[in-house]
Chain A
Amino acid sequence: MNPEPAGHRTSPRIVLVHTITFRQARQFVPAVIPIAAATGFGGGARTIVALVVGVTLLSLLTAALSWWRFSYADGPTAVVVTRGLLSRSVRTVPNDRIRGVEIEAPPLHRLFGLVRVRVDAAAGAAGKDEEVVIDGVPRAEGERLRPAVLSHRGSPSAVSTADGATTEPDEEVVSRFDPRWLLYAPLVGSYLAVPLAAVGALFRLADELPESLRPDLDGPDLSDGRLLAVAFLVGLLLLAVGAVLGAAVVNWGFRLVRRGGSLIATRGLLTRRHTELEIDRIRGCTVSEGLGMRWVRAARVSALVTGLGDAARRGQLLPLGPRAEAWSLARRLAEDPGPLARHPSAARRRRMVRAVAAGLVVSAAGVVLGALTGSWWLLVVGAVLTLLGVPLGLGRYAALGHATGPGSFTVRSGWLVREQAILQRRAVVGWRVRQSFFQRRQGLATVTACVGAGSGGYTALDMAAGDVAGFALAASERWAGSFTR
């Protein structure tokens, strides 16, 4: 390790990266625009050149200043980061509060051989502030920092020896991304959103272009049905291709490796990300399957890690893959508690009532409207909504289930995205049982296992009221006996 934990500097090459990306200068943009607008763009080419040069110089200056004022130190007890142009800020993160280290290499960083190191020190509540970012160290220094910072608190992960060489503990590839899995992407909501967002941004840009620069296009002829159908199909195809490309950019070369006491996930086509999760802090996982994913038997897996900031992204262990692969991964994180127990038929009634209620209300309003004015369209809408509610209610009921095993338990719910959480017994830090007025009459109760990881609680909806105490006792430790004693 470092004998003197005095400040290290980031690589000076980061100044170039930040100059190009206007990282620091970006905050001046709101101030510069009105000034530029006031002086006017009337000067033609010369003004624009002057503006570009000026902005670049400003960017270079701010980047250099913030590089000059930034230093970090990984001492034996804490990581200290000092920064700030005028007001100095010193942030000290005790080593035992560090939950994980992430190394990412955006394309420009890769060009200069640099990486960005994120030290995650979230404490229960997830907040961006809890993160320390050391931007722009050489790749080798990043590789040194990660085990160095983690090993200080006595974690069993890679340990550096005195001469700086690392003794590599056993390494095992847990899962590897098969590029064919990218074909699932068009059926996943979040990847579909990527091309849609791109199209939206394009339209906004086109709107903001000055009139003279806009290409003069005739509006398409909408009268031809065949043309419309072809356009629709092409659009659909482009959407699918966009989703696959989006998924490829994020997940390319995904690899999950177990090294010592950590799971390390690496992924990304342009920006390589390197996330390290401590196995000791993993409390279980979720297997989620969207509506479209269920159709092709695909799923995704996220680890539930205590005190992990930005858990939705960092916890991902299998971004997209076949269900069988997802389950074999899930079983490594928490033992399989066995087949799910169905919830009582009162739960099905309850889901159905909720699913068709909106349709029935609209139908009732439709009857009133029809009787008063003689137009029945609202009643038709209500009837359609009610009919659509039937499969929705049945689907929501079919998703419900819970099970307990010797060392773990599981709950499942959701229809648009069906999520099954498999949790270790020790994960539970509390129980919450809710019973509404109607649930009381139907002998149902909703049970939430409070967990210090993931979304904070995992819920078994509409369980038979008589099963609650037994489930809680089987799914957590001895203290849950307070429910019956």
Chain B
Amino acid sequence: MVAMTTAPPPVREPAWALSRSAISYWLAEGIVESLFLGLGAAAFLLFVPAADGTPLPVLRWLVPIAVGLYAVVAIGIRPRLRHRVHRWEVTGDAVYTVTGWLSRTWTLVPISRIQTVDVTRGALQQLFGLASVAVLTASSQGTVRVPHLETDIAHRVADDLAHRAEQVRDQAT
């Protein structure tokens, strides 16, 4: 966390934070992932016998430790850090986001080049009343995703973007 303050970000941060429910979503995600990994580790300890002269006895120690560390990061650190990093903004002529937690990705797409706007609600997202907005352009790499907005905000943003894209749209490629 020390390193985060060593240099200013290459570009400015977008203005708006995600919904607080996003933390709960990521928390749930981390718990589910950790549970699955824990089951995998338990199966490993149960079904793989420790034979001497192989690296297996070491692995019997390492695997549970690695899973435990992963659980601590995925549940205790990652959701909050992600929420701190993720930001988004719709400016006068562009959609702007930053995503990530350890490494960061800033994406900027002008409204005039938007081709389609998608709103998706995953099963787990619906539990927390969240939805994601994806803004697609002619470039396979130029896709802006705003994850985990409150559902009504997501729909409002998508409608607004689609409407404005239609008005300012040039060739869009």
Chain A residues with Cβ below 8 Å from B103 are 434-437, 439
Q: Is B96 a contact partner of A450 (Cβ separation < 8 A)?
A: no
Query: Which of these binds chain A: B16-24, B132-140, B151-159?
Result: B132-140
* 5 extra interface residue pairs, beta carbon distance < 8 Å, beyond A125-B140, A431-B106, A441-B6: A124-B140, A124-B173, A432-B141, A433-B105, A472-B11
Known A-B contacts A429-B113, A479-B94; the reply to A440 vs B3 at CB < 8 A is: yes
Q: Is B139 a contact partner of A457 (Cβ separation < 8 A)?
A: yes
The CA-CA distance from A434 to B108 in the complex, in Å, is 12
Interface of chain A: mostly helix, strand, loop or mixed: mixed
Chain B residues with Cβ below 8 Å from A441 are 3, 6-7
Chain B residues with Cβ below 8 Å from A436 are 102-103
Within 8 A of B (CB), among A451-485: 451-453, 456-457, 465-466, 468-469, 472, 477-480, 482-485
**In the complex, per-residue mask of B57-82: 1 if CB is within 8 Å of any chain A CB, else 0:** 00000000000000000000000000
**In the complex, per-residue mask of B25-53: 1 if CB is within 8 Å of any chain A CB, else 0:** 00000000000000000000000000000
Whether a CB of chain A sits under 8 angstroms from the CB of B104 is yes
Q: Which of B12, B138, B144 has the most CB of A within 10 A?
A: B138
Q: Is A443 a contact partner of B94 (Cβ separation < 8 A)?
A: no
Interface of chain B: mostly helix, strand, loop or mixed: loop
Chain B residues with Cβ below 8 Å from A468 are 10-11
Query: Measured between C-beta atoms, what is the minimum distance from A277 to chain B in Å?
Result: 14
Report which of A307, A434, A440 forms a contact with B173, defined as CB distance below 8 A.
A307
Q: Which residue of A lies closest to B170 (CB)?
A: A426
The CA-CA distance from A480 to B96 in the complex, in Å, is 10
Interface residues of B (CB under 8 A from A): 3-4, 6-12, 89, 91, 93-94, 96, 102-113, 115, 137-142, 144, 172-173
Report which of A430, A448, A482 forms a contact with B113, defined as CB distance below 8 A.
A430
The CA-CA distance from A441 to B8 in the complex, in Å, is 10
**In the complex, per-residue mask of A270-310: 1 if CB is within 8 Å of any chain B CB, else 0:** 00000000000101000000000000000000000011000
Query: Measured between C-beta atoms, what is the minimum distance from A105 to chain B in Å?
Result: 31
Report which of B11, B93, B110 forms a contact with A469, defined as CB distance below 8 A.
B11
Whether a CB of chain B sits under 8 angstroms from the CB of A245 is no
Chain A residues with Cβ below 8 Å from B172 are 429, 452
Q: Which residue of B lies closest to A447 (CB)?
A: B10
The CA-CA distance from A377 to B48 in the complex, in Å, is 33
How many chain A residues touch B (CB < 8 A): the figure is: 40
Q: Is A437 a contact partner of B102 (Cβ separation < 8 A)?
A: yes
Q: Is B142 a contact partner of A469 (Cβ separation < 8 A)?
A: no
Chain A residues with Cβ below 8 Å from B173 are 124, 281, 283, 306-307, 429, 452-453
Report which of B106, B111, B115, B138 forms a contact with A432, defined as CB distance below 8 A.
B106
Within 8 A of B (CB), among A117-132: 124-125
Q: Is B6 a contact partner of A448 (Cβ separation < 8 A)?
A: no
Whether a CB of chain B sits under 8 angstroms from the CB of A14 is no
Chain A residues with Cβ below 8 Å from B108 are 430-432, 472, 479-480, 482-483
The CA-CA distance from A443 to B139 in the complex, in Å, is 28
Known A-B contacts A306-B173, A436-B102; the reply to A430 vs B107 at CB < 8 A is: yes
Query: Measured between C-beta atoms, what is the minimum distance from B22 to chain A in Å?
Result: 21
Chain B residues with Cβ below 8 Å from A482 are 89, 91, 93-94, 96, 108
The CA-CA distance from A445 to B7 in the complex, in Å, is 11
Q: Which residue of B lies closest to A431 (CB)?
A: B108
The CA-CA distance from A37 to B104 in the complex, in Å, is 61
The CA-CA distance from A315 to B5 in the complex, in Å, is 45
The CA-CA distance from A466 to B10 in the complex, in Å, is 6
